[in-house]
Amino acid sequence: MKWNEYRKRYSALTFKEKKRLSEHWYRLYPKQAGYARELPFFFRCIGKVIKQTKRNNLSLVEYGGHDGGLAAVVMQKHHHLKWLNVDIIPHTVKKQLENYDYQEHILENEVWIEKPSLKTYDIFISSATLEHISDDEIIQLFDYIHSQEIKYLILLITITPKGSNWKNYKGSHILRTGSIGLKKMLSERGYKLLEDNSQRCRWCSFWEL
């Protein structure tokens, strides 16, 4: 399936079909590290939460954490963290994570439909994942996160301020809404923007409920 066709058909795909496609792409592109260039941003935000809460044993839930690459880097410094990766398919997890409190939860349906309990988690984090879901889905995701009363959000999303239809883009990006629209969505749900690091096609943001 070509990328433009995938975008055209996306809304009709079942969750099982999305899983099969994710497994296929994982075999083709096993190395994913969209977080790598933004590590100072992630460390800065997590450090601010540790300082504000006066706790180093924070609980983080990551949406679409792949093989745990971001967790592995962060937990080398903050090794008291508890980290849960919620993902659509299982991955070969980074070996160093065996030494830390890291777990992987594999979804059987969309997270906002399956609704695992995340009310004990302090931070929701996502890196180069949310651009792979639709506008309707990100609204449902934000509603679910808010319902779980997760206080802090740390987001890296590959989008422009005004958004894109991704026509002829060679990848599985779906989200059309840009950072301007996403700011409005999160603000309407009571989140306060603490940091906004907008680049040409990458948006890093840090939020507090």
Buried b (16+ CB within 10 A) or exposed e, 143-159: ebbbebebebbbbbbbb
Res 89: pLDDT:
96
Determine the pLDDT at residue 34. 86
Give pLDDT, residue 166.
97
Give the CA dihedral 199, 200, 201, 203, nearest 10 degrees: 20
Per-residue model confidence (pLDDT) at position 39: 96
Tens of pLDDT along the chain (209 residues) come to 899 999 999 999 999 999 999 999 999 888 888 899 999 999 999 999 999 999 999 999 999 999 999 999 999 999 999 999 999 999 989 999 999 999 999 999 999 999 999 999 999 999 999 999 999 999 999 999 999 999 999 999 999 999 999 999 999 999 999 999 999 999 999 999 999 998 878 999 999 99
Closest among 158, 174, 16, 32 to 91, alpha carbons compared:
32
Cα dihedral 147, 156, 120, 78 in deg (nearest 10): -170
- What are the structural domains of the chain? 3-208 (3.40.50.150)
pLDDT of residue 77: 96
Residue 199 has a pLDDT of: 81
Q: What is the pLDDT of residue 198?
A: 84
- Predicted pLDDT of residue 69: 96
175 in Cβ contact with 135 (< 8 Å): yes
Residue 33: the pLDDT is 82
Q: Rounded CA gap, 45 and 40, in Å?
A: 9
Longest distance between any two alpha carbons in the chain, whole Å: 49
CA distance 122 to 135: 25
